[in-house]
Structure 1
């Protein structure tokens, strides 16, 4: 041990510098390790890129490849089956797309048909309303004539006016293809156009019309109301 004070101070300073350098080296080493860990974690958390995914897919081994390691003929059959499965899946996808398209078109067609039915029904009602309106416009004229006939004096002869009104009414019915069913006495009974009310004694042949109780009407070959008649019976 040196008794020189100056030498002692120099040795102490040298030891202090050495300790400082060691601490700095340890700190740098720790920082580098932490940086490496962070970089490793960042790499681990990253999603695989498309290129990496494609490489992985390319590296996939098919069943036929595995079978080929043991039997080439069987591997060929397996490969053919794999190809057939791929074709069937493609056909299935195409059929499903076609079915979806047909279903969509069917729904549109059904909706269009329902709309058409509604429009046709509305149109029919409009035609019916207009036809009825036209008929009523002509019939009210007959009513006006009857009202005017009744407004005359009680002693007035209104027969001429009534006959004129009747002719006008018949003209309107004729324009609508309406015919009066008014059979002559002695005419054979038509069950579709005549309604027999009773049998009576008559000068007419047996089982023929004796008289018309109430005339009927038919329109476009359709009986609207059958004529009510009496039929002659055997005396």
Structure 2
């Protein structure tokens, strides 16, 4: 019995691997911690880079928005000036037109007064005087004034075809002229720049 005990005491004890395993675990934990730290740093760097890019983009958009607002303000100001200039132009054009019309009327009136003066002189002659030459001269002056204003007399000749746009038929009469043509002019008409102002009143030869 004692021999067995001695033998047991004499057997060498087997070495254990526990310290090595603990060191390995500690190394793995350190590696894992280092990897997590690296990933965290990388993530932080990516976030910082994204934030920086986003900040630049926001700044660029703000700059573009400011430029657009400035451009809109310039366009609005330009539009207001253009509208004001156009209104002023319309006022000047209207005033110029009124002045031209007034000058044209003044010129016409001054020429018509010459005709009136001739009529007054004709009437101032003695009662026994023949005023026909004076009246004829005055009529010539008056016709000249009308011609200067581009006014012409509508005075169709007998036998001329009736023009509904220039002639107003007053009645049908017996005449030596061909049937349906102008027999006589009852009252002359007038046209200005090819536009009929007053139709000539005429009689027309009867069909019979």
Q: Give your verdict on TM over 0.5.
A: yes
| Alignment match, 2:161 | 188
Which stretch of the first structure deviates more once superposed, 181-190 or 200-209? 200-209
Larger mean CA deviation between 182-191 and 78-87 belongs to 78-87
List alignment gaps of at least 5 residues for structure 1.
1-67
Provide the C-alpha distance between the structure 2 equivalents of 1:132 and 1:104, rounded to a whole number of angstroms.
42
Distance 1:176 1:85 in 2: 73
Change beyond 3 A, Cα 1:90–1:141:
same
Q: Which residue of 1 aligns with 2:27?
A: none
Give a deviation string over 1:112-148, Cα, whole Å, max 9, x none: 1111111111111111111211121111111112122
Q: How far apart in 1 are the matches of 2:48 and 2:207?
A: 106
Structure 2 residue aligned with 1:220, among 169, 183, 193? 193
- Residue 172 of structure 1 is matched in structure 2 by 145
Aligned to 1:122: 95
Cα separation, partners in 2 of 1:72 and 1:139, compared to 1, 3 Å: same
1:2-39 Cα distance to aligned partner (Å, 9 max, x none): xxxxxxxxxxxxxxxxxxxxxxxxxxxxxxxxxxxxxx
How far apart are 1:165 and its partner, in Å? 1.3
1:65-214 residue pairs with structure 2 within 5 A?
Answer: 70=43, 80-214=53-187
Q: Please report how far the alpha carbon of residue 70 of structure 1 lies from its aligned counterpart in structure 2 after TM superposition.
A: 5.0
CA distance in 1, matches of 2:201, 2:42: 103
Alignment RMSD, CA only? 2.4
Change (3 A) 1:153 1:90: same
1:183: Cα distance to partner? 0.9
CA separation of 1:182 and 1:85: change in aligned 2, threshold 3 A: same
Aligned residues: 168
With CA pairs under 8 Å and 6+ residues apart, which has the higher RCO, 1 or 2? 2
